[in-house]
Structure 1
Amino acid sequence: MDLERSGGTPAGEIVAEGDEATIKDLESPSLADRSVEHGEGELLGTEIDQILAAKMVIINDTIDEIGFTRHHWKLFCLNGFGYAVDSLILLIQSIISGQARLEFQPGYATGLTIAVYVGMLAGAIFWGFSADIIGRRFAFNVSLFVSSIFTVVAGAAPSWITLGLFICLSAFGAGGNLVLDTTVFLEYLPSKDQWLLTLMAAWWGLGQLIAGLFAWAFIPNYSCSDAATCTKENNPGWRYVWYTSGAFVFVLSVLRITIIRLQETPKYLIAEGKDSDAVRVLQEIATRYNRPCSISLDRLEACGLSRSSNNPSVGMARRLLNPEEVIYHLRGLFATRKMAVSTTLVWLSWLLIGLAYPLYNVFLPTYLESRGASFGQTSAYITWRNYAINNTCGIFGPILAGFMCRSRLFWGRRGTMIIGAMITMVFFFCYTQVRTASQNLGFTCAISFCLNIYYGTLYAYTPEVFPSGHRGTGNGVAIGLNRIMGIVSAVVGEAADTSTPVPIFICAALYIIMAIVAGAFPFEPYGKRSS
């Protein structure tokens, strides 16, 4: 397979196939240069190959010309399903782990947390790289179905080890969705609507809410309380949570392939050198929704050939297993010094949030239970009711963040992340001084709301600052680093006492660092168009 990616034929020198003549010096300056000049609002216009940048200007102009349609609303919901499932699977294991431990009495209490993060790490890396190498469509159609099957099977696990295995496999399917969902949605969005990418993170909170509601419905009523007498027969509540969740994810996976038949995104096709396919996809959308569409294949071909390595005769498996493909996409994230700084800082942010988020959210049931006990609230019903209320509050953080991101008042994406991180830090410190049951619930709700302002914005910012041809890889590595720190948090949770305020202090300190890193990001997507 030819992996030469030198940038292809320069604009103004188009070589026809066969015996056709070579046409040179069409115009001066070149078509590529003029297109980039006209695309001054392009976020990465000077940071990527100029021929590819010129084509991206044309694609962005066409997407803006078509505007926002019902197709985009469908994508908002269907990609949002992936967000919801990722958080659902992540939190279910923490919700049911206590009851599963009573039944199986394992030697390593946080084994399920490690299992879910290992699965999500593998999923983020696999689906992330595959998104750039073989396309977005395959993962979009398959990942939720894989997750649903193993989510159902996890409910029938006969032992702690097999439960961990099925949770890992379920998380593998779900773990790629955070990589794909933002990528697919962004690459179809008109530039003025890119703020919706932040708003889409509200689905993450919805997934948490659903997990909390399932727990509230089943665990208080169908659970044992004594390890000595706990059996499969008198402790079915946690299994019901898995069965119900698996059925829910299966329904979502079916909706993905019935409501919309996703085609590869135009920006991915352009990066792969498939100009004619990109034109066809955009023209089909415009025709379906009766929108103008002035793009033509001639305009794209006049810019030159941006990539000559795509070989349709090479199979999917061979491309996935080719290390040169992986290296190429990793190098593309460090093409210039500015992009290298941006990529490094984005990945660092995912490392930090990867430790802070699970230290709080994954172990939140422990905090609520220990604090509730100190206030005389020993009822499992109250614990899971508070958990559901807390997760409801998390839905609205990304909604506020979405409106903040589209306003100059809050300095765009970077300012929103700084504000979200700093406010979260304040509430973390305040939470250590909680003295009443009402304060306990109020401050956990405030923290859930505020940390999702930062988290939701980071989810949107990350794909925006990666070039389209390497977006899946950049996203996959970012989420992968996040999952690695989730594994670390599980080890910390095993070694430390999570019922004390110490993890809360650690989380507060991490959010201070995250605010500083956000201020150092070299790119600000506000008012710009992503490649």
Structure 2
Amino acid sequence: MAPTSPTDGEKKIDDRLADVERVSQDVILSAEKTDILQLEHTDPVLNAKMHLVNNAIDEIGFTGYQIKLFILNGFGYAVDSLILLIQSIIAGQAALEFNPSFSRGLTIAAYVGMLVGALFWGLTADIIGRKFAFNFSLMICSIFAIVAGSSPNWIVLGVFVALSAFGGGGNLVLDTAVFLEFLPSKDQWLLTLMAAWWGIGQLIAGLFAWAFIPRFSCSDPTVVPDAAPCTYSNNKGWRYVWFASGALVFIMSIARITIIRLKETPKFLVGEGRDEECVETLQFIAKKYNRPCSLTIEDMRACGSIYSSRRDSGAHAKSRFSFGEVGVHLKGLYSTRRIGISTSLIWFSWTLIGLAYPLYNVFLPSYLESRGAEFGETSAYITWRNYTLVNTCGIFGPVLAGYMCATRLGRKYTMVVGALVTMAFFFAYTQVRSQAQNLAFTCVVNFCLNIYYGTLYAYTPEVLPSAHRGTGNGIAIGWNRVMGIMSAVVATFADTKTPVPIYICAALYVVMAAVAAVFPFEPYGRRSS
């Protein structure tokens, strides 16, 4: 047998010393604040550096920088809900003007745009960084939203709706990741509270509809037999809604670029091996807000190199713009058994909520009508006023969820409570028989639903590995959009007057609660990795 070469022997000794050092480091870190994925050991060097970065962020604390991020990232949440609701609000009036053969085409267009946007911007975030999408996604959304108001026919309108949704579809992927990666650990519950912006977006959609549609819309000939035909000149309300929404989103996009001048997130930079830029970013924030930050480049270098600790080239394939790059990020989401289980359960939860909520909105009105619900004669003004009230209630669900997440309930059991309470009101809603009952139950359901929804939005990026956070988050939201497309197809061809879909939707929330209870990671009291 040939003798072992000195090089091989030295390598074995170095590997053993690295193992000893890693164990020693784990013992030290176990006495300090725990990072969520710290014990997964996917990359000891990266874990050590993430721990130092988390220590630095905690040392700096909560500053005006995070306040700006809360508002500017919240714009993305608001725009996502705004675009989805605007297309549903204006679809009826636009259809009266264009007489389409497929009335739910705009819904499918919006969800297709959101699906492609979530996947595109999610992968972009992991490949070239969070900053690019943060600066440009809202700009793209605003341009096509404004142009949508000038659409000459149904097909062109659908194209512009899809393109606008593509720009806005990545915001839920990026906004949570960007905000999370600058947050001190004690303030991570604010990620749940940020979902209140989703309700604000819905409220804005309702206000625009309330302001323009009753005053600048033609009448439906099936309701008013002697109504004049709907044309461009007498049916501009839905166009004004698009113009106003696009202008607002444009202002938001300009604010993102000018107010904060976002720096790349420290955790993305660490995963890239750009330690100097990471330290510079944290030192910049500390200096600007007169806070301490003891992290140095020497501290980071002392941990070693993430590239020498892996067989592959860090968190990327040899060519970043290739299918191999996608494979690297997918593999990273299943790098250990627990991370893989967590990823799968998160995607399953997004699939469930993506199916349950749209179907509920689609089937419930027809079901109630078939069971004799008498809502009375209401004007368009009253209809959109009630719509605005309902969406206002949705703002406060994430506020309660944020408080619950900061208690021992944690994220997991906040979702369990939110899902079960929503399920109970879904079942009760089938007994609604009057306008007042309809308004009250709709408000309560919207409030309770956003407890679960807002927490799931926050939980998803918290437990995903930083280097693959955009991809994992994008695919999760992508599954949600796929189910939205399915709901539109089902609503077109299925019998909407049977009670079965309503009970199925309610039962799905029981499944969501069960899934939340068995999530392998609980972020309460821990720090995102």
Whether the 8 Å contact between 1:88 and 1:211 is mirrored in structure 2 is yes
Asked if 1:478 corresponds to 2:470, the answer is no
Q: Which amino acid aligns with 2:299?
A: R
Name the SS for the 1:244 alignment partner: helix
CA deviations over 1:107-145 (Å, ceiling 9, x no partner): 111110000000000000000001001000000000000
Q: Shift in Å at residue 104 of structure 1?
A: 0.8
1:29 aligns with one of 21, 25, 34: 21
Aligned mates of 2:235, 2:122 — CA distance in 1: 38
CA deviations over 1:3-33 (Å, ceiling 9, x no partner): xxxxxxx9x979xxxxxxxxx9799635754
Q: Shift in Å at residue 505 of structure 1?
A: 2.5
1:136 aligns with one of 114, 130, 135: 130
Paired residues for 1:296-375 under 5 Å: 296-307=296-307, 321-361=321-361, 374-375=374-375
Whether the 8 Å contact between 1:271 and 1:307 is mirrored in structure 2 is no
Aligned to 1:452: 450
Asked if 1:43 corresponds to 2:33, the answer is no
Aligned to 2:4: none
Q: Normalized against structure 2, the TM-score is what?
A: 0.91
Name the SS for the 2:39 alignment partner: coil
Aligned to 2:225: none
Cα distance 1:67–1:367, how it changes in 2: closer, same or farther (>3 A)?
farther
Cα distance 1:142–1:183, how it changes in 2: closer, same or farther (>3 A)?
same
Cα distance 1:82–1:328, how it changes in 2: closer, same or farther (>3 A)?
same
Q: Which amino acid aligns with 1:432?
A: T
Aligned to 1:18: none
Whether the 8 Å contact between 1:36 and 1:54 is mirrored in structure 2 is no
Cα distance 1:29–1:501, how it changes in 2: closer, same or farther (>3 A)?
same
Aligned mates of 2:75, 2:362 — CA distance in 1: 20
Q: Shift in Å at residue 358 of structure 1?
A: 1.9
Cα distance 1:364–1:81, how it changes in 2: closer, same or farther (>3 A)?
farther
Whether the 8 Å contact between 1:60 and 1:190 is mirrored in structure 2 is yes
**Over aligned residues, Cα RMSD in angstroms?**
2.5
Aligned to 2:3: none
Aligned to 1:20: none
Aligned mates of 1:266, 1:141 — CA distance in 2: 17
> Is 221-230 or 52-61 further displaced after alignment?
221-230
Q: Structure 1: 5+ residue runs without aligned partners?
A: 1-9, 15-23
Aligned mates of 1:371, 1:380 — CA distance in 2: 23
Cα distance 1:62–1:39, how it changes in 2: closer, same or farther (>3 A)?
same
Name the SS for the 1:158 alignment partner: coil
Name the SS for the 1:374 alignment partner: coil
Aligned mates of 1:212, 1:368 — CA distance in 2: 23
Paired residues for 1:45-64 under 5 Å: 45-47=38-40, 48-64=42-58
Whether the 8 Å contact between 1:397 and 1:450 is mirrored in structure 2 is yes
Whether the 8 Å contact between 1:195 and 1:405 is mirrored in structure 2 is yes
CA deviations over 1:24-52 (Å, ceiling 9, x no partner): 97996357546644555111101231111
Cα distance 1:288–1:194, how it changes in 2: closer, same or farther (>3 A)?
same
Whether the 8 Å contact between 2:196 and 2:395 is mirrored in structure 1 is yes
Aligned to 1:71: 65
Aligned to 2:217: 223
Whether the 8 Å contact between 2:397 and 2:447 is mirrored in structure 1 is yes
Aligned mates of 2:82, 2:502 — CA distance in 1: 23
Cα distance 1:326–1:250, how it changes in 2: closer, same or farther (>3 A)?
same
Aligned mates of 2:507, 2:452 — CA distance in 1: 15
For this pair of structures, how many residues does the alignment match? Answer: 506
Cα distance 1:483–1:26, how it changes in 2: closer, same or farther (>3 A)?
closer
Whether the 8 Å contact between 1:32 and 1:303 is mirrored in structure 2 is no
Q: Which amino acid aligns with 1:269?
A: L
Q: Shift in Å at residue 324 of structure 1?
A: 1.4
Aligned mates of 1:361, 1:78 — CA distance in 2: 29
CA deviations over 1:437-470 (Å, ceiling 9, x no partner): 1111000000000000000000000000101111
Q: Shift in Å at residue 359 of structure 1?
A: 2.2
Q: Which amino acid aligns with 1:68?
A: F
CA deviations over 1:271-329 (Å, ceiling 9, x no partner): 11111110000000000000000001111111111136779xx9x9x955211111111
Aligned to 1:463: 461
Whether the 8 Å contact between 1:355 and 1:489 is mirrored in structure 2 is yes
Whether the 8 Å contact between 2:176 and 2:461 is mirrored in structure 1 is yes
> Is 298-307 or 34-43 further displaced after alignment?
34-43
Asked if 1:525 corresponds to 2:523, the answer is yes
Aligned to 2:208: 214
Q: Structure 2: 5+ residue runs without aligned partners?
A: 1-10, 222-227
Q: Normalized against structure 1, the TM-score is what?
A: 0.90
CA deviations over 1:414-450 (Å, ceiling 9, x no partner): 1000000000001111111012211110000000000
Q: Which amino acid aligns with 2:441?
A: F
CA deviations over 1:234-257 (Å, ceiling 9, x no partner): 111111100000000000000001
CA deviations over 1:47-82 (Å, ceiling 9, x no partner): 231111111110000000000000000000000000
Q: Shift in Å at residue 495 of structure 1?
A: 1.6
Q: Which amino acid aligns with 1:56?
A: M
Name the SS for the 1:46 alignment partner: helix
Q: Shift in Å at residue 164 of structure 1?
A: 0.4
CA deviations over 1:151-187 (Å, ceiling 9, x no partner): 0000111111000000000000000000000000000
Aligned mates of 1:340, 1:504 — CA distance in 2: 32
